[in-house]
Each structure stands twice: as C-alpha cells, then as structure tokens.
Amino acid sequence: MNFLELTNDLAQRLNEVELTSSNFSSVVGVYSAMKQSVNSSIQFINQDVFQWPFNFVSYEETLTVGTARYAYQTDAKWVDFNSFRIKRDAALGNTTRRLAMLDYEVYLDSKIDDEYNTTNTGIRSIPRTITQTPNQEYTVNPVPDKAYILEYEYYQKAVDLVAYDDVPTLPDDFRHVVTDGAMYYNHMFRSDYEAADRSLSKLQQGVKNMRKNYSNRYEYVRDTRVMRNVSTPYFTRVS
C-alpha cells in the first residue's frame, strides 16, 4: 500500500474521484487535505505504541579510530542500549562482544579524558562499555583502536509520505485502520464533529486490535533490573 493507494482508499469512502500518479503531486484544496489526513492517521498509529515491531531497525556503525562519541541515526525514536555489541570480524581479529552500560556521570568522572587524549598511549582498544549522553549521542570506551563494526537496535520515527509511491512501515493487514484514521482527520477538517467521533472510535478500536497482534505478547517475564557493582564503575543486569 503506497501513498496513492491509501489516499484513494479515503477518496472511495468520501465518494470522491480517485487520483492518479500523474496528478497526485499537484492536487490542492480537498485532495491536499486528504493527503494530510492519511499522514496524520499514520502518525497517530505510530505514536500510540512506542515499539511497534514493524518500526524495528538493526543498524551497523563502523567506528572511527580515535573517536569515542557518535550520533544516533536521525530516524531513531528509541535506542535499545542493551543491544549494543561489537560484531565478529576475522580481518580485525575480534569476536562478538556485547557492551556493558556505563552511567554518564561515572563516565565523566573516570573516562572523559580518553575523548581528548589524541595520543595512543595504551588507552585505545576494542570497546567494552557504552554510555548514553544527554544529547542524542553515545560514547564507547575504550576509544577504538581499529574500525570495529558496532551494531545496535532502535525503533524508528514515522516519516510523512510525500511521493505517490512512498510506502509506510505499517503492515498491509491494517490498511483499513489508516483509512479509518484518515476519515477522522478529514471529518475534523470539514468540521463534521459527529462523524469525526464515529471515525475516531473505529480508529481507536483498530489500533487496539493492532496492539493485540503486534505488541501485547508476553511469552515470559524477565527481570530487567540492574545492579551497581560496588567494586567497579559498571552496572550489571540481574540474571
């Protein structure tokens, strides 16, 4: 389901003439509002659940020798800091290694000088810890001495559709939910609040059904507490 198809789903519900790929980008007025309604519906669905599985991304970052601090991907909504690991690389001679979390205050107290030390005086090595910073970045420590491959997982933000053939991350199974939401926003645009309330109820029920299928799965319970190791500056997960 691309942007054109979703907009035409709404056009059918409203008994409007369907758009084509040739006139899609140039429409104004009512049709422009319809396109905005589709995007608003997609945003509503994506914001309802923080970690929809269809927004999951596994990303690889090639570390730079001598560089400790890196920015998140621009489309990252939530980064799983428990997923950071250095990937096995036969050429570099390292095995896969999961990185331990290091508190930012502890990092500033004990490791921050490594970022500014431009000479390799034995401090550079394969990273062992990951630290979340306050400004959408993370740091690795030790500072890498080779171009290791770092892999981590995150959930991406919803991006507005623009071109007629843009495709949302939402699964086709719930195409009708996008249309129900678009109907709600379109009715609001037309100040038809009674019809908007009916469409909102259908949208909310559709999202509830999506949560049942894609989000509310508890096959087992895991203790996610972390404990401070009194003899080191690191945190360890309860097993």
Judge contact between 142 and 80, C-beta under 8 A. no
CB 170 within 8 Å of CB 45: yes
State residue 119's pLDDT score. 80
State how far the Cα of 53 lies from the Cα of 56, in Å rounded to an integer: 5
Please name the residues in contact with 18: beta carbons below 8 A apart, sequence gap of 6 or more.
Answer: 8, 11, 12
CA 182 to chain centre: 23
Check: CB of residue 144 under 8 Å from CB of residue 127. Answer: yes
Task: Give dist(CA 7, CA 208) in Å, integer.
Answer: 23
pLDDT at 181: 95
Q: What is the DSSP string of 94-118?
A: B--EEPEE--HHHHHHHTTHHHH--
Query: How many Å separate Cα 170 from the centre of its chain?
Result: 13
Q: What is the pLDDT of residues 224-236, one digit of tens each?
A: 666 666 666 665 6
Instruction: Count CA within 13 A, CB hemisphere, residue 27.
Output: 22
| Residue 188: its H or E element | helix 175-189
Running along the chain, 239 residues long, what does each successive block of 10 average in pLDDT? 95 94 93 95 89 92 95 92 95 95 94 87 90 94 95 92 94 92 94 93 92 68 62 61
Residue 103: Cβ-neighbour burial (10 angstroms; 0-12, 13-18, 19+): middle
pLDDT of residue 50: 78
| Residue 173: per-residue pLDDT | 87
